[in-house]
């Protein structure tokens, strides 16, 4: 039996397998569509994975068709084989996941040399370094990643200006430019590893957060790689230099962070999402006692990464990833990075170009989900993009996109696998 394409785990961030199907055998597909009863109560729309612990025993239960409500139906192995269309002509291709670009901007000012109550006897930088290594190692080869550390040099005080070049308060050449990570042992992965090895916080350095952000944005602007652009900013407090390296650099003399928030908002208007992670210490800037979390929260909202239900006074929680509230900084940071990766990498897919002389029929796409420990589920297609369940084809971008609630469910099971099959008419969620 010839079986084209692959089925890959979502934990490999969805390098999807696509196989040709049989356009002349649509009856089975129609039968599947008719089987969508939607009678289950389900738990759609949840974020994270808590809703999968149905019986409350602390063990996550496999996803079922009922979880997807009308957007998911059981599918037998025989029906899957029919969709794979082994007996009919067609074409198969290995697709590429939608590129998602990540630029890390990491604060290594002097305060990162300090231990926190939740860092297990290590400095905040040691915890951050370990979490970054593990998180970046988990990313797929196709993901373009860069990393910038700031400030990396001590800076003379310049409280009254004039504005100076960024090189006065940070080593603008000491960063890893954006490039696809590649496979294990690749040049880009090694460059990032080497940068983490040689980076050490400097007790005498200030915090030029705005200059660092501008440098990161400039790198995203000049990169040749395509895809959604994202910045992950990790810091533990107030900036001590404003744009142009203006300030004393002293933690006792922080500068106004409002221009940073404005910069992040302007980047968001250009399609760049910025995630904020506030390390321990951001609740009380050393020697000042000023809580940095409100501005980090505002920056997350400006960057289109605010957590649902958040507020800028911390009730019930701030809008950024607040490590102050985590009992274990290392675990909390790892979870925050995993959450960010899940949000930006899991729900949009680019279909491959067909071979010469062939045409991709966008009405003939079907998706089969293989939950971890569960039976296959056919995820049904929504009639349009104004949806909460199922998936749709975005003609403007030629992408397959999961609707919000279905995306949440799929993200809750990182060990699930997804198969995309081409050639048979899509099973559609019929409108009410």
pLDDT at 284 over 80: no
- What pTM does this model have? 0.69
* pLDDT at res. 71: 94
Work out the mean pLDDT of the chain and round it to a whole number: 81
Reported confidence tier of residue 415, pLDDT bands at 50, 70, 90: low
Q: What digits encode the pLDDT tens for the residues 110-126?
A: 889 999 999 999 999 99
What's the confidence (pLDDT) of residue 214?
97
pLDDT at 25: 35
Q: What is the pLDDT of residues 289-320, one digit of tens each?
A: 579 999 999 999 999 999 889 999 999 999 99
pLDDT value of residue 341: 86
29: confidence class by pLDDT, cuts 50, 70, 90: very low
Residue boundaries of the structural domains of the chain? 8-95+351-367+385-422, 101-345
**pLDDT band with cut points at 50, 70 and 90 for residue 15:** very low
Residue-wise pLDDT for 56-109, tens only, equals 676 778 999 999 988 999 999 988 888 876 433 455 444 445 568 999 999 999
The answer to whether residues 203 and 249 touch, using CB atoms and an 8 Å cutoff, is no
pLDDT tens digits, one per residue of 235-269 = 998 999 999 999 998 888 899 999 999 999 999 99
Residue 20 has pLDDT above 60, yes or no: no
Query: Residue 189: what pLDDT?
Result: 97
User: Which of 34-38, 54-58, 215-219, 417-421 is most confident?
Assistant: 215-219
Task: Please give the pLDDT value at position 432.
Answer: 58
Q: What is the mean pLDDT of residues 341-370?
A: 77
d(CA 319, CA 123) in angstroms, rounded, equals 25
370/4: higher pLDDT: 370
Q: What is the pLDDT, as a whole number, of residue 289?
A: 54
The architecture of the domain spanning 101-345 is 3-Layer(aba) Sandwich (3.40)
Question: What confidence score (pLDDT) does residue 54 get?
Answer: 65
Question: How far apart, in whole angstroms, are the C-alpha atoms of residue 398 and residue 280?
Answer: 42
Average pLDDT over residues 37-60: 46
């Amino acid at each position: 039996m010839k079986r084209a394409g692959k089925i890959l785990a979502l934990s490999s961030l969805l390098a999807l397998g696509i196989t040709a199907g049989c356009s002349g055998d649509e009856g089975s597909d129609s039968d599947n569509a008719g089987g969508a009863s939607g009678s289950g109560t389900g738990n759609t729309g949840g974020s994270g994975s808590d809703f999968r612990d149905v019986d409350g025993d602390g063990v996550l239960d496999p996803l079922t068709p009922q979880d997807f409500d009308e957007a998911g139906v059981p599918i037998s192995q025989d029906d899957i084989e029919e969709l794979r269309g082994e007996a009919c002509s067609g074409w198969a291709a290995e697709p590429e996941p939608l590129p998602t670009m990540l630029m890390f901007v990491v604060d290594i000012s002097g305060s990162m040399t300090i231990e926190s109550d939740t860092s297990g006897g290590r400095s905040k930088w040691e915890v951050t370094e370990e979490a970054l290594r593990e998180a970046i190692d988990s990313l797929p080869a196709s993901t373009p990643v860069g990393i910038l550390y700031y400030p990396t040099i001590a800076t003379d005080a310049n409280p009254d200006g004039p504005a100076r070049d960024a090189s006065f308060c940070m080593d603008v050449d000491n960063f890893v430019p954006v490039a696809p990570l590649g496979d294990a042992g690749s040049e880009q992965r090694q460059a990032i590893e080497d940068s983490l090895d040689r980076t050490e916080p400097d007790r005498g350095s200030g915090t030029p957060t705005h200059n660092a952000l501008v440098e990161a944005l400039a790198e995203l602007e000049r990169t040749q790689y395509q895809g959604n652009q994202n910045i992950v900013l990790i810091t533990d407090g107030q900036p001590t230099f404003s744009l142009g390296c203006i300030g004393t650099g002293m933690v006792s003399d922080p500068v106004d962070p409002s221009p940073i928030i404005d910069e992040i908002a302007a980047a968001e208007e250009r399609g760049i999402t910025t995630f904020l992670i506030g390390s321990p210490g951001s609740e009380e800037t050393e020697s000042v006692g000023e809580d940095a979390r409100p501005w980090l929260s505002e920056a997350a909202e400006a960057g289109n990464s605010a957590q649902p239900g958040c507020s800028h006074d911390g009730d019930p929680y701030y809008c950024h990833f607040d490590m102050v509230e985590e009992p274990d900084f290392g675990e909390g940071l790892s979870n925050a990075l995993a959450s960010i990766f899940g949000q930006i990498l899991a729900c949009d897919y680019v279909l491959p170009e067909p071979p010469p002389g062939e045409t991709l029929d966008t009405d003939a796409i079907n998706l089969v989900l293989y939950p971890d420990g569960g039976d296959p589920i056919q995820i049904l297609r929504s009639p349009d993009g104004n949806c909460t369940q199922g998936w749709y084809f975005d003609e403007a971008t030629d992408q397959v996109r999961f609707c919000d609630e279905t995306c949440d469910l799929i993200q809750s099971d990182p060990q699930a696998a997804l198969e995309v099959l081409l050639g048979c008419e899509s099973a559609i969620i019929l409108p009410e």
